[in-house]
Amino acid sequence: MCLGVPMTVVEGDEFSALCARGDEKRRVSLLLVGPQAVGTKVLVHIDSAIRVLEEEEAAQLDRALDGLAAALRGENFEEAFADLIESGPRLPAHLR
């Protein structure tokens, strides 16, 4: 299984950008999203930026990935998913 991860553009040009998440940095393609300004959050999947993210969505994804890592280490992870736990199960709008 492959996961997309939120990353921040550190530097870039018309076709690619150096992006960072924590200590990790990687060069990613911008062909699907176009040139992006430094500081822009993008969803990176297989070294390609596939979507520009809003700050809050990027933060939610970061929390979820941190929670997943904590669960894999056998640590408490519930706080990473507080927004889901508090709201309970919900059907997507198109299924209601």
pLDDT of residue 82: 80
pLDDT at residue 96, as a whole number: 81
- Is the Cβ–Cβ distance between 38 and 1 less than 8 Å? no
Domain 5-84 sits in CATH at 2.30.30.140
The model's confidence at residue 1, banded by pLDDT at 50, 70 and 90, is: low
46-93 pLDDT, tens per residue? 999 999 999 999 999 999 999 999 999 999 888 888 877 777 777 888
What pLDDT, on the 0 to 100 scale, is given for residue 21?
96
Residues 6+ apart with CB under 8 A from 69: none
Q: Measured between alpha carbons, how far apart are the two ends of the chain, in Å?
A: 29
Please write the tens of the pLDDT for every residue from 23-40.
999 999 999 999 999 999
| Cα angle value 42/93/48 (rounded, 5°) | 20
